[in-house]
Chains A and B, each alone.
Chain A
Amino acid sequence: MRVLIAAPGSRGDVVGFVGLGRRLASAGHEVTVAANPEFEQTVRVGGVAFRRLAGDARTIADLGTGPRSSLRFLAEQAEAMTTYLCGAADDLVEAAAHADVLLVTMTAQFGVDVAEGHAIPSAGLFSRPVEPTRAFPPVLFHTARSLGPAGNLVAGELARLSTTPFHRASAHVRAVMGLPRRSPVASLRRLRVTRWPVWHGWSPHVLPRPVDWRPGLEVVGYWYPYVPDSWEPPADLAAFLQAGPAPVYVGFGSVGPGQGERLSSILAEALRRSGTRAVVGRGWARLEVAGDDVLVVDDVPHSWLFPRTAAVVPRRSPAGSPRP
């Protein structure tokens, strides 16, 4: 089958699906990963085909340092996200015309509508639990503090409906493909009634599947990035690791582009106070920290680096959290 995986977003939104795509290809499928242009090489190195989805996720991650709760900030964020998603959606409409099945990631939920327009089956590949549950509050709330079973469920429903840019992107796709209009409430209801399948890519030993989830929602385990057997660490990294005790790894991934100076200053002070050796992931913030006990690196496979560290200090967002 011709399998198309729609994976717009930052590096953490893409690399796990290259590993999954490779596994699907080894099972005999013709696999294409659709992502933003900067990940073309990452996808092709994994041995699967690449399709371009317009956009650069920095435009939705670089939103300044203003108060994050202000209405203006939220409006700007929603507008930037809508523009980004609609651009990717236009390219996905074209790419999916050549697919037998469409697998959509968290950031490509408009792919459900794309698949409907092409009359092909689709399923979700989600890295976070967005379906409401009594078991915990919605991840959008960025807190683990329970609101109680009923409160968690109601908050989860509200959170699911509040992701306006995703609904706008779906409406855009439906208009472009000549599909009848469908409200966000009706769209979510349809997913539930049809038991639209979603495979969730984390370990059930870390976060078990909520018992009140509907049929069709499965927690299956991590999808790991592909690392070529021939991969070798950069010479400066290998030398740094050998030169002293195991360092701490600090990385913010795609968080904070445009805030590198501020974040680097905070990090430098934290490392100075703790006296810790550290490997720092440069990331989209372009972190720069100088010192004999610090090495700044570009992308390094976590599966290789983390076992060589004393501890890992990752970003908070679970979408791109380091996988084991």
Chain B
Amino acid sequence: MTRPEMRRAAARLAERIAGDDGAGAVVAALERLGRGDRARVGLG
């Protein structure tokens, strides 16, 4: 792999990572818990 190819691959990966929302997944689960949907949230 050439250096420009590596740079492009790294840029693509960075773009995908930026699309993740790790905090949002936790927020969404706790919102379900707040609505009383404990079973669906799966909290132990």
Contact = CB atoms under 8 A, between A and B. Distances in A.
Interface in B29-44: 29-31, 33-34, 38, 41-44
B21 A221 contact: yes
Interface residues of A, number: 36
B20 interface: yes
B44 A196 contact: yes
B33 A112 contact: no
Contacts of A23: 23-24, 26-27
A222 interface: yes
A216 B42 contact: yes
Nearest to A123: B43
Given A221-B25, A223-B22, A197 B42 contact: yes
Contact of A197 (B14, B17, B20, B43): B43
Interface string A205-216: 110000000011
Contacts of B33: 1, 101, 121
A113 to B, nearest CB: 11
Interface in A255-278: none
Given A27-B27, A27-B30, A222 B42 contact: no
A216 B43 CA distance: 9
Contacts of B41: 121, 197
B14 to A, nearest CB: 6
B20 to A, nearest CB: 3
Interface residues of B, number: 23
Interface of A (DSSP majority class): loop
A204 B21 CA distance: 11
B44 A123 contact: yes
A216 B39 CA distance: 12
B8 interface: no
Interface string B5-29: 0000000011011101111111101
A56 interface: no
Nearest to B16: A205
A205 B13 contact: yes
Contacts of A122: 43-44
A242 B44 CA distance: 52
Closest 5 CB pairs of A and B: A221-B20, A221-B22, A121-B43, A220-B25, A196-B44
15 contacts: A1-B34, A20-B23, A20-B26, A24-B23, A112-B44, A121-B33, A125-B26, A196-B42, A197-B43, A199-B29, A205-B16, A206-B17, A218-B25, A222-B20, A224-B23
Interface of A: 1, 3, 19-20, 23-24, 27, 29, 101, 103, 112, 115, 121-123, 125, 191, 194-197, 199, 201, 203-206, 215-216, 218, 220-224, 324
